[in-house]
Amino acid sequence: MKWALGSIRIGERHRKDLGDIDSLARSIAENGLLHPVVIRPDGTLIAGERRLQACSSLGWCDVPVTVVDIDNIARGELAENADRKDFLPSEIDAIRRALEPIEKAAAARRMAEGARVGKVSTPSRTRDQIGAFAGVSGRTLDKIAAVVEAAEAKPERFGKLLADMDRTGRVDGPYKRLRAARQAEQIRAEPPPLPGNGRYRVAAVDPPWPSDKETDDPRDRATHPYPQMSIAEICALDVGSIMAPDAVLWLWVTNYHMREAFEVLEAWGFEHKTILTWVKDRMGLGQLLRGQSEHCLMATRGKPIITLTDQTTVLQAPVRANSQKPDEFYGMVERLCPAPRYAELFACTARPGWDGHGDQYPAYDAEADAIGSYYDGIKAIGERVKAGAPVPEFMLSRRQQPATAGHVCHHPKGCRYSGCEGEGRCLIRSAVGAGAAP
């Protein structure tokens, strides 16, 4: 059915910003009007104001319409109409808004009648009756309304959810993303956890994995400029005590210890979900293959909020200083996993919004880091040392580095700093409740 465009009346509208009408007009000119506007029998617009404005800008005199008699729907006379069209979710909500005042007035009358005869009309019955015409449940109607209202209130943030809902006809996906976004707002507004105590909603852990026994084999070229821990010692860390009931854990692991990493997650009370692979800009050392990637296991416990958009299992970022993870990783975690504050165990770099724990925290060479590449940074440091500058502390072996006042030991048997007797406790261990910091 077509209707004279000029005779369609636009009443009070909930949506104030109509968005990009020109793009919509170009689409209609190329493909036609795929979804007719929805009007009442008297020509009052129910849904489709953007389409109406686009058709007007194209100079159309008549526009395809779907006529919906709100009064008949209220009486239930069209609930079984087999010829009714498939409405867009936003059109269903527009019909709900047009029908709701009539239903509320009718419900009030029924309640007044019920006061005399002992029957009342419930809000759920009214909601289900509104959804009956469009062939959706009352619960689905509520989800549609939530997405539409959010898009109207914050079109720059939630407008895409409404567009996706109308484009696909699916309601659950956009509604779940809306709910996750709102929960993420609440989480980020929470009071931050106490530094060193938690409980943290999100943490990243980069343990000092043990190496396989070095031999005279020339393939054994990897070096470890930090004290290592055994798998049993890593499993014994009470990481779960500083994590919230609903939490996300990111566990960095070497290729060699991928199998043991799952044991560690189980010991800490987390369930593995997926693997992020950091693809580096250049190759490093290795035994059978030279390494150019590093893996981080994503694990959860409880039901944490994840705000997935375009994040994938691949992270491409340049190599930085030894053991230092790329800034792109932390940015991705912050976008994906909402938290008022984050934790990093065995950290070597300080960053805003994160509590770092570890004997290397925050000791690293800032000048080398500014260069942006670990290998170029080491080369630059070598040139400075040749010119008479002291060797940076992080490049010294542990036996060459002095144990400074207030030193906190990293390894349960002593971190092998010169002068360290192993009497202190690791800052990691004090953070997770396995001992007190000196």
Residues 58 and 94 in one domain: yes
Buried b vs exposed e over 91-100: b needs ≥16 C-beta within 10 Å?
bbbbbbebbb
Residues 226 and 305 in one domain: yes
Residues 171 and 206 in one domain: no
Q: Can you tell me the mean pLDDT for 237-255?
A: 93
Residue 371 C-alpha from the chain's centroid: 31
Predicted pLDDT at 435: 36
Helix axes 89-117, 138-153, angle to 10 degrees: 120
Report the range of poorest mean pLDDT among 33-47, 241-255, 375-389, 413-427: 413-427
Helix axes 21-31, 49-57, angle to 10 degrees: 70
Domain boundary among 187, 222, 249: 187
**3-class secondary structure, 340:** coil
Residues 55 and 82 in one domain: yes
Percentage of the chain exceeding pLDDT 90: 22
pTM above 0.85, yes or no: no
* Cβ contacts of 269 within 8 Å, gap of 6 or more: 240, 301
Q: How confident is residue 377, by pLDDT bands cut at 50, 70 and 90?
A: low
**In angstroms, rounded to a whole number, what is the distance separating the alpha carbons of residues 105 and 55?**
35
- Number of domains making up the chain: 2
Predicted pLDDT at 128: 67
- Average pLDDT of the chain to the nearest whole number: 75
Residue 172 lies in a domain: yes
Predicted pLDDT at 84: 45
Beta strand 45-47 pairing with 354-357: unpaired
Report the range of poorest mean pLDDT among 12-26, 67-81, 130-144, 347-361: 67-81
Predicted pLDDT at 20: 76
Asked if residue 81 has pLDDT above 60, the reply is no
Domain boundary among 126, 154, 187: 187
Residue 95 lies in a domain: yes
User: 1 near 41, Cβ under 8 Å?
Assistant: no
Domain boundary among 187, 208, 241: 187
Residues 254 and 292 in one domain: yes
User: 335 near 283, Cβ under 8 Å?
Assistant: no
Residues 49 and 98 in one domain: yes
Asked if residue 224 has pLDDT above 90, the reply is no
Predicted pLDDT at 361: 65
Predicted pLDDT at 16: 56
Residue 231, judged by CB atoms within 10 A of its CB (0-12, 13-18, 19+), counts as middle
Predicted pLDDT at 421: 47
**3-class secondary structure, 111:** helix
Distances (CA, A) of 248 to 177, 244, 388: 18, 9, 46
Q: How do residues 126-136 score in pLDDT, each as one tens digit?
A: 566 666 667 78
Q: How do residues 323-334 score in pLDDT, each as one tens digit?
A: 789 889 999 999
How is the beta sheet containing 354-357 ordered, strand by strand? 314-316, 271-279, 293-301, 243-253, 200-205, 342-345, 354-357
Asked if residue 423 has pLDDT above 50, the reply is no
Residue 193, judged by CB atoms within 10 A of its CB (0-12, 13-18, 19+), counts as buried
Q: How do residues 182-204 score in pLDDT, each as one tens digit?
A: 888 887 777 766 555 678 999 99
Range of the domain at 279: 200-364+396-431
Residue 258 lies in a domain: yes
